[in-house]
């Protein structure tokens, strides 16, 4: 945010901060969310790179298309375990997973 815009907002009585501050997240909670979103983004990219539909991936991991969609969207109801299982089914190695997490991939849409 531009300094001038921030100054104007604060002068008008607005408090400017991060999403973490607004939600009251601890650094650990914030890191967990970022890792999960990075894995979700990587899952979608790997699926697309393999030219698979969500339905086809769902069959591979014995899940449903809607569950795959939720994984790719970073839905909080989906466990990291299922995302990891799906990444491994797509041929990701532990090094690939570590790289995805450390690269801080963009958030899933």
pTM of the model as a whole: 0.77
3-state secondary structure of 76: coil
| Residue recorded with tokens 């009251």 | 24
Asked if 80 and 36 touch (Cβ cutoff 8 Å), the reply is: yes
Using alpha carbons, select from 109, 83, 77 the residue that is nearest to residue 96.
Answer: 83
pLDDT in tens, the chain (109 residues): 788 888 888 899 888 877 788 888 898 998 899 999 999 999 999 999 999 999 999 999 999 999 999 999 999 999 999 999 999 999 999 999 999 988 764 443 3
| Residue recorded with tokens 């969310």 | 33
Query: For the chain, which domains are there?
Result: 25-101 (1.10.260.40)
């Amino acid at each position: 945010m531009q300094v001038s815009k921030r100054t104007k907002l604060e002068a008008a009585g607005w408090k400017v901060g991060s999403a973490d501050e607004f939600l009251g997240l601890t650094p650990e909670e914030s890191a967990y969310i970022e890792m999960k979103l990075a894995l979700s983004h990587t899952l979608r990219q790997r699926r697309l790179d393999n030219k698979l539909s969500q339905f086809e991936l769902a069959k591979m991991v014995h899940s449903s298309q809607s569950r795959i969609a939720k994984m790719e969207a970073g839905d909080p109801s989906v466990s990291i375990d299922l995302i990891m299982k799906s990444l491994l089914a797509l041929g990701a190695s532990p090094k690939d997973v570590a790289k995805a997490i450390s690269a801080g991939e963009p958030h899933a849409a």
